[in-house]
Structure 1
Amino acid sequence: MISRRDLLKLTGVAGVGSTALSGYALAEAFREKVTTYNLTPPNWTPGLKLKLAVLADLHVCEPWMSVERLEIIVEQTNSLGADAILLLGDYVVGHRLGKYSGKVSNGAWATALAKLKAPLGVHAVLGNHDWWQSQDVQDRRAGPTPAGLALQAVGIPVYENNAVRLEKDGQPFWLAGLGDQWALYPLDDEYDEFVHGGKIAYRGVDDLPGTLRLITDDAPVILMAHEPDIFPVTPDRVSLTIAGHTHGGQVRIFGYAPVVPSRFGSRYSYGHIVEGGRHLIVSGGLGCSSLPIRFGSPPEIVTVQLGGAEGGEV
C-alpha cells in the first residue's frame, strides 16, 4: 500500500523516465500483495496447525520504503492473524541504491518493526546488506551488526545459527535461524580465485550443522535463512525452509528473471519449491535493490499455513 506522500515522490521520479513502462515498473514497486501457501510438510506433527507471516528484504530507505510505508506494512501484517512473524533480513538499503534514495536510521525502522505483534512472537535473521552496511563489521569480519543491535534493542530476537523451541496448543516445534551466507566481502587475495573465476565470492557466517545440533527432540523444524542457497544441503530433518534474498528476480518477463542473486541461478528464485520431498518457500520480498523498480514481481507479504489443507499458492 502506498501513502500519498510516497505517491507524489514516485510520480516525480517516473516523470523523468523515458517510457510508460518505466513508470509502471516504479509503481509496481509500491503495490504489495499477500501471498499465501498451504501445506503439510514431511515430519509435521498431525493436528499441529500453524500460521506464519513472513517479511523479507525491506531495504528501508527514502522514498521507496519509508518508515511511513513500513508502518502501513506492519499494520497490515498484524491484521493477518499469524501465530508468529518471521523477518528474513536485509532491513537496510542496498549499497547500490544509494544514489536513488536517502538512508533511514536503524533505530527508526527497528522502532516501526517493534509494533509487530503475534502470540508466538517476532523472530529475525540478518541478510547480506545488514552485514555490508558497516565497514567496521567487514574489517573485523565478525558481528554484531548495527542492524542486529537495532532489532535486539527493540526486543526482537535475532537468530544466528540458533534455535528456539515453541509450542502451539501444547504441540512443540522448533524455529531455527541460520547465519547469513553472504555476510563478508572476500579478502583481497580471494578476488582472483572467486571473482575472475565467475563464482560468488562472499563468505558466510552460516553454520547449519551447528544450528541443527541445538534441536533436542523430534518436534518439526522450520529453518529461517536469508539466502535460499542453503537448501540443497538442508537435511530431511528440517520440515520447511523459508528464505528471501532473491526479490523473485525483481524483474520478471513472462515469468523469467534475467538476474537472480544465487549460485543456482533461477532454481530457487521464487515460490514453493519441492526437491527430494523437502520443502522450500522463497519470498519475493518487499523492497528493491540496485534500482527502485519491480516488474512482474510485485512486493509481497507471505503467509504460510502449516498443517492445513494441501496446496500451493492461494
Structure 2
Amino acid sequence: MKDRKKISRRDFLRLLEVISLQVAALEVLGYTYSTEVEMDWIEITDLPVKLPRLDPAFKGFRLAQVSDFHLGQWINKERLDQIVALTLEQSPDLIALTGDYLEYHPYGRPNIWETYAENLDVIRTSFASLPRACPTVAILGNHDHRVNPEWIQQALTDASVTVLRNTVYTVQRGDARLYIAAVDDVLEKAGRFDEVLNALPRDDAPAILLAHEPDFADVSAATGRFGLQISGHTHGGQVDIPLIGPPILPEMGKKYPSGLYNVNGMLLYTNRGVGVTTVNARFNCRPEITIYILEPA
C-alpha cells in the first residue's frame, strides 16, 4: 500500500485561500441574487379555484390579487408602473389590492405628511391605470393604518379605486352575483366583521373575503359563509430557508404564511406581495401576483 503524500503547509494555505475566495464569491452572488435578482422576479400564479354555488355565468372569471407594495421602502414609481402593467397583461375581470400601499416609517423617517406626500401622489397616478381597464377594489393593511388610513383611502379614491372597509362589493353577470366582502385591518383593530356579515346578502350567491392578515381565516371560516379568503401581509417571510421555512413572520401571519390552505372547508390563499418591508431582500420567496380563475364546484 502506497503512503499518502502529505500536503505541504504552503499548499494547505493556498487551498484555504481558494476556499475562502469561493465562499466569498458565493456570499456576493447570494447577496446580489437576494437584493437584486429575486426582488424584480415577479411570479404570476394562476390558481384555479372551485367555488360552491358559483353560477356558470362566472365560469373562467379572472380575479387578480396584488398586495403589499410598501412604497417608500423599495418600490418606487417606475417599479409600481411595471407591476401595474404586468397585472393588466393578465386580462383580469376584477382586481383586488389587499393592503400596505405605503411603508410605515420608511428608513426611519418621521410619520408625518412630508414623508409620504410624494408616494401618495404615486398612488393617485400609477393606480389610476387599473380601474380604467377593469373594476378595481382595495382594502387597507396594517402599515396603512399606522401611517394614516384617511390619507391612503383618499389617494386610492382619487385614482378611482373602490376602497372597501367592512363592507361588501357585488359583481353581477346577468342575474348571477358574486360577493366580494372586505374586513378592515384586524391587526390594527379596525375590523368590524359583524358589519361585514350584516352587509352580506342572505342568498345563495358565493362570497370571497378580502382580509389583509391571513390568520383571520380561523374566524372567517367558522361562519361557513365564504368559499375563499385572499390575504397578504406576510410577504411569505421574504426569506424562506429550504427545509426550515421563514425565520421571521409577522403577527397574524404565522399560521398561514404563504400559498393555498383549506381552513375548515374554506380555501385561503396568502399572497407573497410585490414589495418588501424593513430589509430590501428576498430569498427563495419571489414576489407574486395571483390570478384566481373561478370555476363552479
- Amino acid corresponding to residue 128 of structure 1 in structure 2: N
Cα distance in structure 2, aligned partners of 1:169 and 1:163: 19
Q: 1:25 aligns with which of 11, 29, 34?
A: 34
Cα distance in structure 2, aligned partners of 1:118 and 1:271: 29
1:219 match: 205
Shift of 1:110: 2.7
Q: Conserved in 2, the CA contact under 8 Å of 1:52 and 1:303?
A: yes
1:208 match: 193
Shift of 1:264: 5.9
Q: Conserved in 1, the CA contact under 8 Å of 2:71 and 2:101?
A: yes
- Amino acid corresponding to residue 20 of structure 1 in structure 2: L
2:219 match: 233
1:74 match: 84
Shift of 1:218: 2.1
1:116 match: 130
Cα distance in structure 2, aligned partners of 1:285 and 1:263: 16
Bigger mean CA deviation after superposition, 240-249 or 37-46: 37-46
Q: Residues 98-109 of structure 1: matches in 2 within 5 Å?
A: 98=108, 104-109=118-123
Distance verdict in 2 for CA 1:97–1:221, change over 3 Å: farther
Q: 1:56 aligns with which of 58, 62, 67?
A: 67
Q: 1:93 aligns with which of 94, 103, 110?
A: 103
Identity %: 31
Q: Conserved in 2, the CA contact under 8 Å of 1:83 and 1:119?
A: no
CA RMSD of aligned residues (A): 2.2
- Amino acid corresponding to residue 33 of structure 1 in structure 2: E
Q: Structure 2 unaligned runs (5+)?
A: 1-25, 110-114
Q: Conserved in 2, the CA contact under 8 Å of 1:67 and 1:108?
A: yes
Cα distance in structure 1, aligned partners of 2:29 and 2:104: 25
Bigger mean CA deviation after superposition, 159-168 or 40-49: 40-49
Is 1:127 matched up with 2:131? no
- Amino acid corresponding to residue 60 of structure 1 in structure 2: L
Please give the per-residue CA displacement for 1:250-275, whole angstroms capped at 9, x wherever unaligned.
1101161111113462x210011102
Cα distance in structure 2, aligned partners of 1:210 and 1:85: 23
1:11 match: none
Q: Structure 1 unaligned runs (5+)?
A: 1-16, 135-143, 184-203
Is 1:174 matched up with 2:179? yes
Bigger CA radius of gyration = 2
1:147 match: 152
- Amino acid corresponding to residue 44 of structure 1 in structure 2: L
Cα distance in structure 1, aligned partners of 2:125 and 2:45: 25
Is 1:290 matched up with 2:278? yes
TM-score, with structure 2 as normaliser:
0.81
1:195 match: none
1:13 match: none
